[in-house]
Amino acid sequence: MSQTYYLLRHREVPEIGQIAVYRAHGGYEALRKALSQYQPEELVDLVKRSGLRGRGGAGFPTGVKWGFLPKDGRPRYLVVNSDEAEPGTFKDRELIEHNPHQLIEGMIISSYAIRANEAYIYCRGEFLKGYEELSRAVQEAYQAGFLGENILDSGFSLDIFVYRGAGAYICGEESALLESLEGRRGNPRLKPPFPAVAGLYGMPTIVNNVETIANVPPIVTYGAEWYTSMGTEKSPGLKIMSVSGPVNRPGNYEIPLATPLRQLIEDYAGGLKEGRRLKCIIPGGSSVPLLTPDKLDTPLDYESILQAGSMLGSGGCIVLDESVCIVKASHRLVKFYREESCGKCTPCREGTYWMADVLERLEMGLGTQDDLAILTDVADNINGKCFCPLGDASIGFLVSAINHFRDEFEAHVREGRCPLGAKVYDTANY
Amino acid sequence: MIRLTIDGQEIEVREGTMIADAAARLGIDIPVYCYHEALGPLGACRMCLVQVEKMPKLATACTTAVAEGMVVHTTGPQVDKGRKGVLEFLLINHPLDCPVCDKGGECFLQDYTFRYGPPQGRFQEPKIQKVKDGPISDLILIDQERCVLCQRCVRFMDEYVGEPELLLEGRGVETVVTTVEGRPAQSQFAGNVIDLCPVGALLAAPYHHKARPWNIEREESVCTLCPVGCTTLTTGRDGRIVRVEGRPVVDRNWGWLCDRGRFGFDFATHPSRLVNSRLHGREEAAARTTREIGQWLREVVAQEGGEAIAVVMGGLHTTEEAHQVYRFATEVLGTRRLVVSRDVPGYVPRGLNGTFEDLSAADAVILVGTDPYESAPVLHLRLRERLKNRRAPLTLMGVAPRNLSRSTLPVETLVTHVGQEADVLAAALKEAAGDHPAVAALLSQGAGIARGIDPTQVSQLSRVLREAERLVVVWDGVEPDVEHVLAALAQARQGQTTRVLPTFGPSNWRGFERAGFDARFDALTRVLEDARDGKIRMLILWGADLLKDYPDRRLVEQAYERVEWLLAEGVFVPEGAEHFDAVVPGAAPGEVYGTYVNMEARLQIASPSVNPPGQARPTKSYLTAWAHALGKPFVVDEEWDPYDDASGDLLPEEPLPQDIEAIRAPDLPEGGVELLVSAQVWANGIPSQILEARLEAAQIARISPLDADALGIREVGVIRVESAEGVLELPVRVDEHLTPGRLLVPLGVGALPVNRLRPGVVKVQRLEEVQTP
Ligand SMILES: Cc1cc2nc3c(=O)[nH]c(=O)nc-3n(C[C@H](O)[C@H](O)[C@H](O)COP(=O)(O)O)c2cc1C
Ligand code: SF4
Ligand code: SF4
Ligand code: SF4
Ligand code: FES
Q: Which residues contact A113 (CB under 8 A, 6 or more apart)?
A: A34, A38, A40, A43, A44, A47, A66
CA B688 to chain centre: 16
Predicted pLDDT of residue A4: 81
Check whether residue A73 and residue A120 sit in a common domain.
yes
Nearest to B90 among A340, A344, A346 (CB): A346
User: Residues enclosing ligand 4, CB less than 6 A?
Assistant: B 223, 225-226, 228-230, 257-258, 260-261, 376-378, 681
User: Residues enclosing ligand 1, CB less than 6 A?
Assistant: A 54-58, 60, 81, 83-86, 170, 172-174, 207-209, 212, 388-390
Give the residue-averaged pLDDT of B754-765: 93
Give the residue-averaged pLDDT of B198-203: 98
Q: Indicate yes or no: CB of A349 within 8 angstroms of CB of B58.
A: no
What is the DSSP track for B194-235? HHH-SSTTEEEGGGTTT--GGG-EEEEEE--SSTT--EEEEE
The ligand 5 atom nearest the CA atom of A387: 3
The SS3 of residue B486 is helix
The pLDDT-based confidence of A421 (bands split at 50, 70, 90) is: confident
Domain assignment of residue A4, yes or no: no
Give the residue-averaged pLDDT of B459-486: 98
Q: Indicate yes or no: CB of B172 within 8 angstroms of CB of A387.
A: no
Residue at a domain's end among A201, A228, A255: A228
Check whether residue A356 and residue A290 sit in a common domain.
no
Instruction: Quote the ligand 4 centre to B703 CA distance (angstroms).
Output: 26
User: Residues enclosing ligand 5, CB less than 6 A?
Assistant: B 32-35, 43-48, 60, 62
Residue at a domain's end among A267, A302, A321: A321
Q: Give the percent of chain A with pLDDT over 90.
A: 97
Check whether residue A164 and residue A306 sit in a common domain.
no
Question: Measured between CB atoms, does B117 come within 8 Å of chain A?
Answer: no
The ligand 1 atom nearest the CA atom of A53: 25
Domain assignment of residue A233, yes or no: no
Q: What value does the mean pLDDT of chain B take?
A: 96
Range of the domain at A351: 326-429
Check whether residue A211 and residue A292 sit in a common domain.
no
Closest approach of chain B CAs to the CA of A78, in angstroms? Answer: 26
Phi (first) and psi of residue A264, to 5 degrees:
-60, -45
Predicted pLDDT of residue A429: 43
Check whether residue A221 and residue A259 sit in a common domain.
no
What is the DSSP track for A361-410? HHHTT---HHHHHHHHHHHHHHTT-SSSHHHHHHHHHHHHHHHH-HHHHH
Instruction: Quote the ligand 1 centre to A93 CA distance (angstroms).
Output: 14
The pLDDT-based confidence of B773 (bands split at 50, 70, 90) is: low
Check whether residue A189 and residue A65 sit in a common domain.
yes
* pLDDT of B462 strictly over 60: yes
Check whether residue A115 and residue A33 sit in a common domain.
yes
Closest CA to A340 of A259, A394, A289, A416: A394
* pLDDT of A5 strictly over 50: yes
Q: Indicate yes or no: CB of A353 within 8 angstroms of CB of B93.
A: yes
* pLDDT of A428 strictly over 50: no
pLDDT single digits (tens) B718-753: 999 999 999 999 999 999 999 999 999 999 999 999
Give the residue-averaged pLDDT of B560-588: 97
Q: Which residues contact B161 (CB under 8 A, 6 or more apart)?
A: B187, B189, B381, B384, B408
Instruction: Report the chain A residue with the minimal C-alpha distance to residue B122.
Output: A374
Domain assignment of residue A299, yes or no: yes
Domain assignment of residue A244, yes or no: yes
Domain assignment of residue A1, yes or no: no
Predicted pLDDT of residue B671: 76
Interface of B with A in 34-63 (CB under 8 A): 41-47, 49, 56-58, 63
Between strands B140-142 and B760-770, the pairing is unpaired
Residue A405: which CATH number?
1.20.1440.230
Domain assignment of residue A2, yes or no: no
Predicted pLDDT of residue A423: 74
Residue at a domain's end among A265, A296, A321: A321
In terms of C-beta distances under 8 Å and separation of at least 24 residues, what long-range contacts does A222-231 make, across chains too?
A: A223/A46, A224/A46, A224/A47, A224/A49, A224/A50, A224/A51, A227/A50, A227/A51, A227/A52, A228/A49, A228/A50, A228/A51, A230/A256, A230/A257, A231/A256, A231/A257, A231/A258, A231/A301
Question: Measured between CB atoms, does B149 come within 8 Å of chain A?
Answer: yes
What is the DSSP track for B569-612? EESSPPS-GGG-SEEEEBPPTTSS-EEEE-TTSBEEEE---SPP
Edge-to-edge strand ranges of the sheet holding A159-164: A159-164, A118-123, A77-82, A205-209
Question: Measured between CB atoms, does A200 come within 8 Å of chain B?
Answer: no
Task: Tell me how many residue pairs between chain A and chain B have CB atoms under 8 A apart.
Answer: 99
Give CA torsion, residues B404, B410, B416, B418, to 10 deg: -10
Could you give the domains of chain B?
A: 2-75 (3.10.20.740), 277-343+508-629 (3.40.50.740), 350-502 (3.40.228.10), 673-770 (2.40.40.20)
Check whether residue A29 and residue A88 sit in a common domain.
yes
The pLDDT-based confidence of A425 (bands split at 50, 70, 90) is: low
Give the residue-averaged pLDDT of B248-261: 96
CB contacts, 8 Å: B167 with chain A: 185
Lowest pLDDT segment from A268-277, A315-324, A413-422: A413-422
Give the residue-averaged pLDDT of B522-541: 98
Closest approach of chain B CAs to the CA of A406, in angstroms? Answer: 21
Residue A285: which CATH number?
3.10.20.600
* B258, B681 Cβ separation under 8 angstroms: yes
Predicted pLDDT of residue B383: 98
pLDDT single digits (tens) A159-216: 999 999 999 999 999 999 999 999 999 999 999 999 999 999 999 999 999 999 999 9
3-state secondary structure B271-313: CCCCCCEEECCEEECHHHHHHHHHHHHHHHHHHHCHHHEEEEE
Q: Give the percent of chain A with pLDDT over 70.
A: 98
Check whether residue A219 and residue A343 sit in a common domain.
no
In terms of C-beta distances under 8 Å and separation of at least 24 residues, what long-range contacts does B93-100 make, across chains too?
A: B93/A350, B93/A353, B93/B127, B93/B128, B93/B145, B93/B173, B94/B127, B94/B145, B94/B146, B94/B148, B95/B127, B95/B132, B95/B143, B95/B145, B95/B146, B97/B143, B97/B145, B97/B146, B97/B200, B100/B209
State the complex-level ipTM.
Answer: 0.95
* pLDDT of A430 strictly over 50: no
Closest approach of chain B CAs to the CA of A355, in angstroms? Answer: 10
Question: Measured between CB atoms, does A340 come within 8 Å of chain B?
Answer: yes
Give the count of alpha carbons within 13 A of B422, CB side only: 28
Helix (H) or strand (E) holding B133: none
The pLDDT-based confidence of B640 (bands split at 50, 70, 90) is: confident
Domain assignment of residue A3, yes or no: no
- Nearest ligand, measured from the Cα of B150: 3
CB contacts, 8 Å: A384 with chain B: 56-58
Give CA torsion, residues B701, B703, B708, B710, to 10 deg: -120
Number of domains in chain A: 3
Cα(B328)–Cα(B626) distance, integer angstroms: 9
The residue contributing the CA closest to ligand 2 atom 8 is A342
Cα(A113)–Cα(A78) distance, integer angstroms: 10
Check whether residue A145 and residue A207 sit in a common domain.
yes
Residue A103: which CATH number?
3.40.50.11540
- Nearest ligand, measured from the Cα of B508: 4
Cα(B318)–Cα(B168) distance, integer angstroms: 43
Question: Measured between CB atoms, does B123 come within 8 Å of chain A?
Answer: yes
Q: Which residue has the higher pLDDT, A421 or B103?
A: B103
pLDDT single digits (tens) B294-329: 999 999 999 999 999 999 999 999 999 999 999 999
Question: Measured between CB atoms, does B92 come within 8 Å of chain A?
Answer: yes
Question: Measured between CB atoms, does B148 come within 8 Å of chain A?
Answer: yes
Check whether residue A331 and residue A317 sit in a common domain.
no
* A86, A284 Cβ separation under 8 angstroms: no
The SS3 of residue B114 is helix
Instruction: Quote the ligand 5 centre to B16 CA distance (angstroms).
Output: 17
The pLDDT-based confidence of B251 (bands split at 50, 70, 90) is: confident
Check whether residue A334 and residue A417 sit in a common domain.
yes
Helix (H) or strand (E) holding B136: none
Residue to mutate among A182, A344, A366, A372, with most B CBs inside 10 A, is A344
Instruction: Quote the ligand 1 centre to B745 CA distance (angstroms).
Output: 57
Closest CA to A55 of A95, A22, A21, A3: A95
pLDDT single digits (tens) B368-412: 999 999 999 999 999 999 999 988 999 999 999 999 999 999 999
Give the residue-averaged pLDDT of B260-286: 96
